[in-house]
Amino acid sequence: GAGVSQSPRYKVAKRGQDVALRCDPISGHVSLFWYQQALGQGPEFLTYFQNEAQLDKSGLPSDRFFAERPEGSVSTLKIQRTQQEDSAVYLCASSLRDTSYNEQFFGPGTRLTVL
């Protein structure tokens, strides 16, 4: 079956531009997560949805970052007025349920480069 997909795979933005990153989770997965992975580091949590409800956004680094999942399926991570420090790979993951033993299925990521 189809896995988690993300688009675009690569995005180059000039500093100050707004960007939108899309995630299509596995069909039927209740939970959706966004992570940021800097070069040579492990993924770091940004935010989490259960269906359409954003239950945790404690990892969002600033108010320039905004995520939504209006119909409980596709999610968009938006970054306003991008800065060079936003350059990273943004990973989306989905999980059937939000229990600790459920694995998260990861998409291939969007590599954002801010010039």
Partner 1 sequence: GNSVTQMEGPVTLSEEAFLTINCTYTATGYPSLFWYVQYPGEGLQLLLKATKADDKGSNKGFEATYRKETTSFHLEKGSVQVSDSAVYFCALNHAGNQFYFGTGTSLTVIP
Q: Which residues bind partner 1 (CB under 8 A)?
A: 4, 31, 33, 35, 40-45, 48, 55-56, 59, 91, 93, 95, 97-109
- Nearer to partner 1 by Cβ, of 66 and 105: the residue is 105
Residue with the two structure tokens 């998260």: 104
- Nearer to partner 1 by Cβ, of 3 and 16: the residue is 3
- Nearer to partner 1 by Cβ, of 71 and 103: the residue is 103
User: Among 107, 27, 4, 5, which residue's Cα sits nearest to residue 73?
Assistant: 27
Give residue 94's identity as a one-letter amino acid code.
S
Angle (CA) 109-39-33 rounded to 5° is 35
Nearest approach in angstroms of CB 81 to partner 1 is 26
Residue 40 to residue 23: CA distance in whole angstroms: 23
Looking only at Cα atoms, what is the longest distance across the chain? 40
- Nearer to partner 1 by Cβ, of 49 and 86: the residue is 49
User: Among 24, 44, 29, 25, which residue's Cα sits nearest to residue 89?
Assistant: 44
